[in-house]
Amino acid sequence: MKYDVSLELENREESYSFGDVAKQANGSAWIKSGKSVILATVVIDETEIVKDNFLPLTVQYIEKTYAAGKIPGGFFKRETKPSDFETLTSRIVDRSLRPLFPEGFGHPTQITIMVFSADSESDLQVLALNAASAALYTSDIDINTSVSAVRTAKVDGEIVINPTLSQLKDSTLDLYLSGTKNDLLMIEMRSFGGEKVEVNEMIVDPLLDPTMGTAVMSSHISNAMSEDELIEVFEKTQVVLFDTNAKYEEAFASSKKSTVEIDLKAHAINEEMVSFVRDNHMPDIADAMNQMAKSERSTALRQLRKRIIAEKTEWEEVELKDAIEKVKKEQVRAQILNERVRADGRALTEVRPISIDTNILPNAHSSCLFTRGQTQALVVLTMGGPKDAQMFESLTDSGTQNENFMVHYNFPGFSVGEASPIMGTKRRELGHGNLAKRALAPVVDLDGQTVRLVSEILESNGSSSMATVCGGYMALRAADIDTSDTVAGIAMGMVSDGETYAILSDIMGLEDHDGDMDFKVTGSKDGITAMQMDIKLGGISLNILKEALYQAKEGRSHIIDIMLEAESKIEFNDGVLPSVDFFHIDPSFIGEVIGQAGKTIREMIEKFEVAIDIDKKDGKVKITGKSKDGVAGARGHIEGIVNTPKVAKIKYEVGDKYEGTVKKIVDFGAFIELPDGTDGLLHISKISDQRVDKVSDVLTEGEKITVEILEFKGNKISLGRA
């Protein structure tokens, strides 16, 4: 393969070929980095134009198992449906490239990214976006802006740009930025934390005035990253991102195809209709805006159209719909920018009313109904063991992995008043569930358990993913699962006219639709565990981003206070909730706990109705049961065995005689427990000088008898009746 361009980037080299393969596509890029090879292609349908006001762009990221020398597992030995990683990567590329297309671009466009070779250290999500952007930039489509991605890690306290996958596994930060040479477009971030944070705490004497107290400094391990530290990382990463795109545009310019002329959708707004609506129906627009639910607002606007059409019979309803939508959007934005008041009357920083009900499902392990305004999530938790973990295998991993913390998000049509069937999991549902998982995972220590959270969105008017985070945390606490900190999520928005701007806390659907930013931030009062941002207006400055982060922290703290109050009132589903206990024992006692042929541990399992797992290497014991009493009983029994002093082992020799206890009678003899707890076999032929037909006729379990050591067979002792 001949490469047209080779670039030395931060901690990575990339080589590109533009014309050797997939030549019938509108654009293609063959990229090699390390031992990874990716092909990205762009194809548009020049004959069809979609009339709806929507960009018909489809992105598919596809991994081939042969790329890592693997054959697909399972019954079918070929690639089937996309994995979660493939779907999430497709979504990242789509969100990064969609802002490049001009308004009115209505041609169905397909971007396909195929991984042909992959090594264990390459960041395929970064390479996928870079390859797709290169294919689009050098295609015959009139798009002249490069978009790329940069990932940043923090390893041993040091910032690492474009880390290897090995470095990323040891990182306390995973930050994925995409943008152009001038602007940030998208952010995906999660923090693994583990750094000591000093906190001011107020120690209060409850016998005195509760408003009085003594401020002290304390410290704990935080799994969140502070806003100031994150901004510092943004600044360093942004420099590399902007520089990388400048290098791409310079290097790819000579490989760009001649641009073909593409028809854009004529989407002119009828200004006569706009003026008529402004002059005669602003109160009706205001009334519709006050209908906060999407279905109610749509109904109000539809009724307004019907009334106007009845008066203006010569007008087209489709044109009138666009005119009303424009006036409504202008009013929403103007009210926010000029009056600093939102459509529902809230202040810019105000969070909608919140209610929290826990364990409302009596037969689930735990549940939480989290309601914020007109957004409502029912989050249900189920606990399981190691065998319940989700098995998966990624292209760059050497073997199968187990995922023991799962967050599944479902968004049925009825949650927004739509009559749509419930089908398979959509990309958006997978993405929102993944965001909630990244938000909660840093503060949960499952220690061998498997936990599945399922978020059923029952009503949605903005940021159901953040309701999932809040409800998910409460479901964890309602299952009595320990967490290192309290985590909540809030969705931020922004409206800007180019000169002034307003940052909005806890945006609703109307503000998401008519605003310029969708910015989701999750974390504790200390800092951020995860975030996701999409910019609609072409970029965002770090100063505005910093302001948004601190406003989000204020809103998040308000939500956490409400969650903490609800947490104090949790009543556990004791009859249903499994109880789990972890402790350690001296590994030298494991034999006694298990017993001969597993008899002792089986008896405990049956008696206390529990499951017992013991790590023979380090003595770690896990007991799981349906009741706390059963788990406590099993633990007490084990600790009784461990705390019983061991008898020193006796060095037995042939001919020695000892008093032993008949421990177990079998058809061929009896097992005799010797003074130090060692078992020996008294064969039926050695019990008496007379013939014995049935051992139980001569011996009884628990009986004391004197025996003689006859011989050793490996670790087994053969006995005779003395």
**For the segment 558-595, what is each residue's pLDDT rounded down to a tens digit?**
999 999 999 999 999 887 888 888 888 888 788 888 88
Rounded average pLDDT over 615-633: 85
* Domain limit, last residue, from 339, 370, 387: 339
User: Mean pLDDT lowest for which of 90-104, 202-216, 323-337, 532-546?
Assistant: 202-216
Domain membership of residue 261 (yes or no) is no
- Please give the Cα distance from 114 to 539 (Å, whole number): 29
Alpha-carbon distances, residue 677 vs 463, 482, 638, 646, 673 (angstroms): 64, 40, 17, 9, 6
Domain membership of residue 323 (yes or no) is yes
Nearest by Cα to 450 from 622, 604, 616, 575: 622
Alpha-carbon distances, residue 578 vs 5, 135, 575, 629, 633 (angstroms): 59, 53, 8, 11, 15
300 and 378 share a domain?
A: no
The domain that holds 590 is classified in CATH as 3.30.1370.10
DSSP 368-414: EEEEETTEEEEEEEEEE-GGGSEEE--TTSSS-EEE-EEEEEE--GG
State yes or no: pLDDT of 381 exceeds 50: yes
DSSP summary character for residue 684: G
- Please give the Cα distance from 489 to 702 (Å, whole number): 64
The domain that holds 507 is classified in CATH as 3.30.230.70
Q: Would you call 405 exposed, middle or buried from its count of C-beta atoms within 10 A (0-12, 13-18, 19+)?
A: middle
The fraction of the chain above a pLDDT of 70, given in percent, is: 93
User: Mean pLDDT lowest for which of 289-303, 393-407, 496-510?
Assistant: 289-303
635 and 691 share a domain?
A: no
- Collapsing DSSP states into helix, strand and coil, what is residue 607? helix
Domain membership of residue 376 (yes or no) is yes
420 and 482 share a domain?
A: yes
- Please give the Cα distance from 666 to 696 (Å, whole number): 8
> So what's the pLDDT on residue 256?
92
The domain that holds 295 is classified in CATH as 1.10.10
420 and 363 share a domain?
A: yes
State yes or no: pLDDT of 205 exceeds 60: no
> So what's the pLDDT on residue 591?
84
Whose tokens are 């134009």? That residue is 49
Domain limits at 79? 5-185+226-255
Nearest by Cα to 467 from 343, 373, 546, 536: 373
- Please give the Cα distance from 525 to 555 (Å, whole number): 10
Q: What is the pLDDT of residues 29-80, one digit of tens each?
A: 999 999 999 999 999 998 877 766 788 999 999 999 999 998 887 778 888 8
Q: What is the pLDDT of residues 254-295, one digit of tens each?
A: 999 998 888 777 667 888 888 988 888 888 887 777 765 666
Question: Which alpha helices (H) appear in 517-648, and where do they start and end?
Answer: 542-567, 590-594, 599-608, 628-643
Instruction: Specify the pairing of strand 109-117 against strand 57-63.
Output: parallel
Count the Cβ atoms, other than its own, within 10 Å of residue 314: 5
DSSP summary character for residue 225: B
User: Mean pLDDT lowest for which of 116-120, 451-455, 564-568, 585-589?
Assistant: 585-589
> So what's the pLDDT on residue 18?
94
403 and 545 share a domain?
A: yes
More confident residue, 624 or 147: 147
> So what's the pLDDT on residue 359?
96
Angle, CA of 317, 331 and 293, to the nearest 5°: 75
Domain membership of residue 292 (yes or no) is yes
- Please give the Cα distance from 663 to 637 (Å, whole number): 20
> So what's the pLDDT on residue 575?
78
365 and 455 share a domain?
A: yes
Mean pLDDT rounded to a whole number for the chain: 87
> So what's the pLDDT on residue 210?
32
State yes or no: pLDDT of 23 exceeds 50: yes
Q: What is the pLDDT of residues 667-682, one digit of tens each?
A: 888 999 888 778 888 9
> So what's the pLDDT on residue 203?
32
> So what's the pLDDT on residue 424?
83
Give residue 284's identity as a one-letter amino acid code: D
Domain membership of residue 146 (yes or no) is yes
Alpha-carbon distances, residue 78 vs 74, 82, 256, 463, 494 (angstroms): 9, 12, 35, 38, 46
Q: What is the pLDDT of residues 233-249, one digit of tens each?
A: 999 999 999 999 999 99
DSSP 289-339: HH--SHHHHHHHHHHHHHHHHHH-TTS-HHHHHHHHHHHHHHHHHHHHHHH
399 and 535 share a domain?
A: yes
Rounded average pLDDT over 636-652: 77
State yes or no: pLDDT of 520 exceeds 70: yes
State yes or no: pLDDT of 253 exceeds 50: yes
Domain membership of residue 126 (yes or no) is yes
562 and 583 share a domain?
A: no
Helix (H) or strand (E) holding 7: strand 5-9
Domain membership of residue 196 (yes or no) is no
* Domain limit, last residue, from 306, 339, 372: 339
- Please give the Cα distance from 329 to 324 (Å, whole number): 9
DSSP 56-69: -EEEEEEE-GGGGT
User: Mean pLDDT lowest for which of 253-267, 339-353, 467-481?
Assistant: 253-267
Q: Angle of helix 271-280 relative to helix 282-290, nearest 10 degrees? A: 80
26 and 142 share a domain?
A: yes
Count the Cβ atoms, other than its own, within 10 Å of residue 53: 12
User: Mean pLDDT lowest for which of 393-397, 413-417, 433-437, 538-542?
Assistant: 538-542
pLDDT band at 195 (very low <50, low <70, confident <90, very high): very low
> So what's the pLDDT on residue 207?
30
Give residue 633's identity as a one-letter amino acid code: G
The fraction of the chain above a pLDDT of 90, given in percent, is: 47
Number of domains in the chain: 5
> So what's the pLDDT on residue 229?
92
* Domain limit, last residue, from 643, 667, 699: 643
Domain membership of residue 207 (yes or no) is no
Nearest by Cα to 573 from 375, 337, 361, 260: 361
Contact present, 380 and 407 (Cβ < 8 Å): no
User: Mean pLDDT lowest for which of 5-14, 152-161, 447-456, 638-647?
Assistant: 638-647
The domain that holds 706 is classified in CATH as 2.40.50.140
55 and 169 share a domain?
A: yes
pLDDT band at 209 (very low <50, low <70, confident <90, very high): very low
> So what's the pLDDT on residue 216?
35
Count the Cβ atoms, other than its own, within 10 Å of residue 647: 11
Contact present, 505 and 511 (Cβ < 8 Å): no
276 and 249 share a domain?
A: no
> So what's the pLDDT on residue 220?
40
> So what's the pLDDT on residue 196?
40
131 and 47 share a domain?
A: yes
Nearest by Cα to 239 from 177, 154, 158, 146: 177
